[in-house]
Amino acid sequence: MSLLPASCLLASLLPCLYACILMPRAPRKLHTEEELHEYALKALMRRAHSVFEMRRALERRADEKPIVQRVLARLRERQYLDDARYAMQFVRQRSENRRQGRHRIARELRARGVPDRHIEAALDEVLRDVDAGAQVRKRIERKLRNLRGPLDARKMASLYGTLLRAGFDSDIIRRELRAATKREVAELPVNEEFETKEEPS
């Protein structure tokens, strides 16, 4: 019986290796409520979750869907899950650390399944004393310091689009751009790239 050359053997194994790399195994299913509850607590230790995010994570791991609702109920009863508190923390972190505007923060919270009533309450509470104009002004100053070459129409439109994506009102953006550049700034056309491409979260 002849043995296959090493090169042939390696070639025969390549499809399996590619499959392992490109198609990782599905996470192990959890069969009991206690296992799923422990998994949820570990996830919450890593970061806060909205109810929607946690439900989605549990459904991926649960062997039986009914236990997901029981675990969610336990977490909410112990106030480990609370969308109102989650929204407050999220708005504070995104406004203070990332200097994002109201519209961007609201979009991201909706993507995480947080109800609008909690989003609006958190935005009103946290951003009550936040000067959005000052936030926009600092962003513009930083961009202009790092600008290469003259501020032409294309660069102005790019800066305008960046600020829109960050979630600030167009009126505030135009006002601060006028003050910073000493130019009259009309409502600039924003192309599809500006409207859909988000800044990194």
Q: Are residues 68 and 89 in the same domain?
A: no
Contact 51, 72 (CB under 8 A): yes
- Among candidate residues 77, 109, 144, the one where a domain is terminated: 77
DSSP letters spanning 141-159: HHHHHT--S---HHHHHHH
Q: What domain range includes position 164?
A: 132-196
User: What's the rounded Cα separation, in Å, for the pair 200 and 95?
Assistant: 14
Contact 164, 170 (CB under 8 A): yes
Q: Are residues 73 and 90 in the same domain?
A: no
The answer to whether residue 50 sits within a structural domain is yes
| Burial (Cβ within 10 Å: 0-12, 13-18, ≥19) of residue 152 | exposed
- Flag the least confident range among 27-31, 79-83, 161-165: 27-31
Q: Are residues 91 and 56 in the same domain?
A: no
The answer to whether residue 70 sits within a structural domain is yes
The answer to whether residue 119 sits within a structural domain is yes
Contact 157, 190 (CB under 8 A): yes
The answer to whether residue 175 sits within a structural domain is yes
| Model confidence at 90: pLDDT above 80 | yes
Distance of CA 104 to the CA centre of its chain: 10
The stretch 100-108 carries a mean pLDDT of 96
Give the model confidence (pLDDT) of 105-150 as tens digits. Answer: 999 999 999 999 999 999 999 999 999 999 999 999 998 888 888 8
Q: State the pLDDT confidence band at 182, using cuts at 50, 70 and 90.
A: confident
Q: State the pLDDT confidence band at 155, using cuts at 50, 70 and 90.
A: confident
The answer to whether residue 20 sits within a structural domain is no
Tokens representing 37 are: 């509850």
Q: Are residues 186 and 149 in the same domain?
A: yes
What percent of the chain is predicted at pLDDT more than 90? 60
pLDDT of residue 149: 82
Q: Are residues 56 and 40 in the same domain?
A: yes
The answer to whether residue 148 sits within a structural domain is yes
pTM: 0.75
Q: Are residues 164 and 187 in the same domain?
A: yes
Residue 62 pairs in a beta bridge with 30
Q: State the pLDDT confidence band at 35, using cuts at 50, 70 and 90.
A: very high
Report angle CA 61, 66, 68 to the nearest 5 degrees: 45
Report angle CA 105, 119, 50 to the nearest 5 degrees: 85
pLDDT of residue 194: 39
- Among candidate residues 126, 150, 185, the one where a domain is terminated: 126
The answer to whether residue 22 sits within a structural domain is no
Q: Are residues 111 and 147 in the same domain?
A: no
Per the structure, how many domains does the chain have?
A: 3
